[in-house]
A and B are shown apart, each in its own frame.
Chain A
Amino acid sequence: MPRAKGWRELPIGGIIDEPGSARELETGAWRAFRPVVDQEKCINCLQCWMFCPDMSVRVEDSKMVGFDLYHCKGCGICASICPVDAITMVVETEAAKEGEVK
């Protein structure tokens, strides 16, 4: 955590003037299960992107390219709604052990 600011350093009125700054927070640390995508099976329907409550499915040029594991909380919605079962949820500690990052 960065040093907490003193009252003279803060904007008045309780304003937060850095939009989207919550991105700094690693909600991925909450995860017990990690989504893993099989790109061979993926049909890029982007349902997982639409239904991710944590904006953690990465899409580039209309293609699903993986997960933002810094933020993904591992809820498993993406795996449950994937129409081609391309996403599986694996135990986080094991996935981390295998060093399978992103």
Chain B
Amino acid sequence: MRHLRQHLPGRRYHHGGGDGSRQGRRGQVSDFKALDGNQAVAEAMRQINPDVVAAYPITPQTEAVQVFSQFVADGEVDTEFVTVESEHSAMSACVGAGAAGARVMTCTSSAGLAFMWEITYIAASMRLPIVMMVANRALSGPINIHCDHSDSMGARDNGWVQLFSESPEEAYDNMIQAVRIAEHPDLMLPVMVMQDGFITSHAMERVEVFDDQAVRDFVGTYTPRYSVLDVENPLTFGPLDFYVYYFEHKRQQVEAFSHAKDVILEVAADFNRRFNRNYGLMEAYRLDDADVALVALSSTAGTAKVVVDELRGQGVKAGLLKPRVFRPFPAEEMVEALSHVKAVAVMDRSISFGSMANAGPLFLEMAAAFYVNGNGSKVPMVDYVYGLGGRDIGPSEIESVYMDLLRIADGGEVPNLVTYLGVRE
């Protein structure tokens, strides 16, 4: 899965027609459209044509809901759109509709995800394959509408599969794949698809949109295992579950997650076969021969690629590892991908307050992964918490991180385990 996505989004297609459309490997037609991340997600939702969407507007996700509402109003989808009065009810209605055997989707951000919290656990434990786009935004307080990852990172243990997207196109692709991942019989788990609020949700880029029918063929039809609408075989959903069985039900969720990596890769392989875009659990960018490497999620990885290219031009062997999947966490794969480098910097767009050295969640996962899977490897690893509340992260900041790594790789002291990058003293 490494090496396969060597270029920035929008620069990696070789067989485009002059009219903006192209013929894919299996005769599928696609179009290049200028879409921002929210529009791209709404477009994916239109093509998927879910049975029910229950959603509530929140900045910066609002546009996705608005655009989809227009699709509903124009009869372009069969979806029942439940215009709930809160995110709590959005997720509650999704659970009801999911239990009724419908294909269900929603979108949220920040406080909206926090308000859904209780019900996200219930969705996961009821094994409902709900797909939700999260336009990552900082949590209050103080209130802030811009990007960081504290919302979905806080939800990392709620029982959802989590996919992070670098660009509008990745958000589009991830939404489509999420349906298949969620509904896979071995999983039956809800899936969160993240993109960076404003940075990609509102940034217009070229997105290759596939033919409607091709997308519908890919996602296929959903046959629910259980339905609360089955009046012939009445089922009880959501019973009171004491200590006699609660643990067994949690064990079943663990079992589903133990299949999740395989399922994600299987779905990605089929996606690649049909649409000629290759996804894995992560993306390695110029990492194979790298001396120093960054680990970064979502749009920051895109910025880092530019820096990597520049540094390579200067003869610095810089590399990048971009996790696509945070839950299930691809611990072994990430350690293997980084085992040869001399120093690693993890970029965290949120803080796990009170954790070891007040680091970010991605760093904590990576530290644990190296301890367990690293075969005693002592690759120096540092954490950079950055970009909170939408604080800009540019190529110069990322370059400074690589410079730190080079010093560490050179045998220099590890200055700080955790650095808060760009905060004023």
Shortest CB-to-CB span from A16 to chain B, Å, is 4
B239 and A14 contact, CB distance less than 8 A:
yes
Interface residues of A in 1-34 (CB under 8 A from B): 4-7, 10-17, 19
Within the complex, the shortest CB–CB distance from A4 to chain B, in Å, comes to 6
Expressed in whole angstroms, the Cα–Cα distance for A88 and B225 within the complex equals 49
The residue in chain A whose Cβ has the minimal distance to the Cβ of B226 is A15
* Contact between B248 and A16, CB atoms less than 8 A apart: no
Does B245 contact A16, Cβ atoms closer than 8 Å? no
Asked whether, in the complex, the Cβ of B244 is within 8 Å of the Cβ of A4, the reply is: yes
Residue B375 at the chain A interface, CB threshold 8 Å = no
Complex alpha-carbon distance, A6 and B249, angstroms: 9
Contacts of A17 in B (CB 8 A): 226, 233, 235
**Contact, CB under 8 Å: B235 / A10:** no
A25 to B236: give the CA distance in the assembly, Å.
Answer: 17
| A11-B226 in contact given A4-B244, A19-B234 (Cβ < 8 Å) | yes
A15: which of B235, B251, B256 is its contact (CB, 8 Å)? B235
Contact check, A12 vs B127: say whether CB atoms are below 8 A apart.
Answer: yes
Interface size of A by Cβ–Cβ distance < 8 Å? 13
B124-175 interface with A by 8 A CB criterion: 125-128
Interface of A: prevailing SS: loop
Q: Give the chain A neighbours of B226 by CB distance below 8 A.
A: 11, 13, 15, 17
Instruction: State whether A7 touches B236 (Cβ < 8 A).
Output: no
B248 touches A13 (CB 8 A): no
Most chain B CB within 10 A, of A6, A7, A10, A13, is at: A13
A19 to chain B: closest residue by CB? B234
Report yes or no: A14 in contact with B234, Cβ–Cβ below 8 A.
Answer: no
- Inter-subunit contact B244/A13 (CB<8 Å): no
B236 and A10 form a contact (CB under 8 A): no
Contact B251 A14 (CB under 8 A): no
Chain A residue numbers with a CB within 8 Å of B249 are 7, 10, 13-14
Q: List the count of A-B residue pairs having beta carbons below 8 Å apart.
A: 49
Residues of B within 8 A of A7 (CB): 248-249, 251-252, 255
A15 contact set on B, CB distance < 8 A: 226, 235-237
Given the contacts A11-B226, A12-B127, A15-B226, A5 and B188 also touching, CB distance less than 8 Å: no
Q: Are B235 and A16 in contact (CB under 8 A)?
A: yes
A6 touches B237 (CB 8 A): no
- Known: A15-B236, A16-B239. Is A6-B248 also a contact (CB below 8 A)? yes
Q: Say yes or no for B241: interface residue by CB 8 A criterion.
A: yes
B319 to chain A, nearest CB (A): 40
B188 to A14, Cβ gap below 8 A? Answer: no
Cα A19 to Cα B252 with chains together (Å): 22
A74 to B252 Cα, complex, angstroms? 40
CA distance A11 to B249 in the complex (A): 9
Nearest CB in chain A to that of B124: its residue: A13
Kindly state the separation between the CA atoms of A78 and B78 in the bound complex, as whole angstroms.
52
Q: How far is the CB of B304 from chain A (nearest CB, A)?
A: 39
Is the pair A13, B245 in contact by a Cβ cutoff of 8 Å? no
Query: Chain A residues near B225 (CB, 8 Å)?
Result: 12
Contacts of A19 in B (CB 8 A): 233-236
Tell whether B238 is near chain A: CB-to-CB under 8 Å: yes
A contact residues around B236 at 8 Å (CB): 15-16, 19
Contact at B233–A13, with CB atoms within 8 Å?
no
Instruction: Give the residue name and chain of the A residue nearest to B185 (CB).
Output: A12
Nearest opposing residue in chain B for A16, CB measure = B236
Q: How far is the CA of A14 from the CA of B235 in the complex (A)?
A: 10
- Residues from chain B with a CB closer than 8 A to the CB of A6 are 248
Q: Which residues of A contact B239 (CB under 8 A)?
A: 14, 16
Report the bound CA distance from A7 to B247 in whole Å: 8
A2 to chain B, nearest CB (A): 11
A13 touches B251 (CB 8 A): no
A13 touches B255 (CB 8 A): no
Are the C-beta atoms of A13 and B188 separated by less than 8 Å?
yes
- Give the residue name and chain of the A residue nearest to B126 (CB): A13
A33 to B238, CA, bound (A): 34
Chain A residues proximal to chain B, CB less than 8 Å: 4-7, 10-17, 19
Contacts A13-B188, A13-B226 aside, 13 further interface pairs with beta carbons under 8 A come to: A4-B245, A5-B248, A6-B248, A7-B255, A10-B252, A12-B256, A13-B127, A13-B128, A14-B125, A15-B226, A15-B236, A16-B235, A17-B235
- Can you name 14 A-B residue pairings with CB atoms under 8 Å? A7-B255, A10-B249, A10-B252, A12-B252, A12-B256, A13-B126, A13-B249, A14-B125, A14-B237, A14-B238, A15-B226, A16-B236, A17-B233, A19-B233
